[in-house]
Amino acid sequence: MTSSTGPVPPAASSPHSTVGRGVLVSLIASVLFAVIFLLAGLLPGWGAEEIFGWRVVLTLLTLSCILPFLAWWRAEVTALAMRLRRRPTLLLLGVLAAGLVGVQLWLFMWAPLNNMALSVSFGYFLLPLTMVLAGRLFFAERLSPLRKFAVGAAALGVAHEAFSAGGLTWPTLVVCLGYPVYFVLRRKAGFDNLAAFFGELIVLLPLGIYFIIAGPHGLGAGSTLSTDGLWAAWSIGVLGGLAMAVYLLASKWLPLSLFGLLSYVEPVLLVGVSVLLGEILGWSALLTYGPILLALLFLGLDSRRGAPR
């Protein structure tokens, strides 16, 4: 698999190895995001904006420590700089992409602090379906038979949840509609790489610093800053850097439809975190998550067969 936006690591030269590596890093990202979700929910007294600020700052610092050691990082930065030099108007799309991902980063911190963790989790259940639709509409990606079965099974679970809940909450819609716009925009603009995400974080950096300073534990605040809380906030930032690095690698190495379907692993973990944080699932949830787990089974069988030719 090749990319029109820059080089890929040498180990990802064949389609089969690229898909295999993409599946692995996608699973790692899902676990890391679930840990971040849990840590955010364990920070009462902290504002979502303050945690968002720490996440932006420390994710940027973490990537600054990791990326220079990647052999292809310099080439990605050079290719992105040349692309922007040829078309400076792409900077506007980059700012828009930064705004889109910034909303998602903030919502991920806000939801577990405001008893909306299940709503956001359900948004991530819907996301693979909207990603599959985006892949078909904008990139004419084909689905293997097993992936079609996975989509059908997942759609049954999603339809039951939407019907039983009487509609979809706004956090659910922000996740399931916002992320496809973000990823389609990045691919269309040629920004589907870590160098572009690094630039998006730089755009968000002033806002992140402001939220840290103005937050409950910022300059002039009367609240005391516990060591445990500070370590949790810092851990969110560092793990966020690692998670986004491997997540965006997965988005680059995988077809958009397979990348979207693999996203089902994350909401399964997020639902578990939501229950740990005190939200309640009824027995009817089996009719939602049962078909979705079946979709994961189909997806696992499909990934063993390799990417469709």
Cα torsion through 291, 289, 127, 26, rounded to 10: -90
- pLDDT for 223: 53
Closest CA to 201 of 94, 67, 107, 109: 94
Cα 159 from Cα 105, distance rounded (Å): 26
- The one-digit pLDDT tens for each residue of the chain (309 residues) are 333 333 334 444 455 677 888 888 889 999 999 999 998 888 877 888 988 999 999 989 988 988 888 777 888 899 899 999 999 999 999 999 999 999 999 999 999 989 899 889 888 878 877 887 788 778 777 777 887 888 888 888 888 877 877 777 899 999 999 999 998 898 888 887 888 989 999 999 999 999 988 877 765 555 555 565 778 888 888 898 888 778 877 877 887 677 767 777 888 888 889 888 888 777 777 888 788 778 877 876 776 655 433
User: What are the tokens at 31?
Assistant: 């676990």
